Amino acid sequence: MRKSISIAFVIAITIFMYLWAPPEAKPSPECCSGLDKVNKGVKTYDDRHDMCICLSSEAAITSADQYKFDNLPKLCNVALFAPVGPKFDCSTIKV
């Protein structure tokens, strides 16, 4: 596994903690910082594709709140490299 993806997976844990939190929860500064680091750390097509699959799969198979998942980038003021989610086609990612 590529180093940047390994680091991104560790950071993603903080993000998923927010997604599994009660509906009224807001993302913590650590969550938003983690999202920003994940976004900035995946620069190649392969890394972005792998991260897209990870996030999209997680959104599809967990009890994560889909509304919170979809709105996390906006709440954290982070422009993600792709609109990842359970229905996004990760093969369409551009670098």
12-21 pLDDT, tens digit per residue, is 777 777 878 8
Structure token digits, residue 82: 């792709």
Q: Which of 40, 57, 48 is nearest to 93 (CA)?
A: 48
**Is residue 83 pLDDT above 90, yes or no?**
no
Percent of the chain at pLDDT exceeding 70: 82
Higher-pLDDT residue of 24 and 10 is 24
Give this prediction's pTM.
0.72
Distance CA 9, CA 55 (A): 9
Q: What is the mean pLDDT of residues 1-25?
A: 70
Contact assessment for residue 29 and residue 74, using Cβ atoms and an 8 Å cutoff: no
Give the pair of three-digit tokens for residue 19. 């997604």
Q: Could you say which DSSP state residue 20 is in?
A: T
Delineate the domains of the chain, giving CATH numbers in brackets: 3-92 (1.10.110.10)
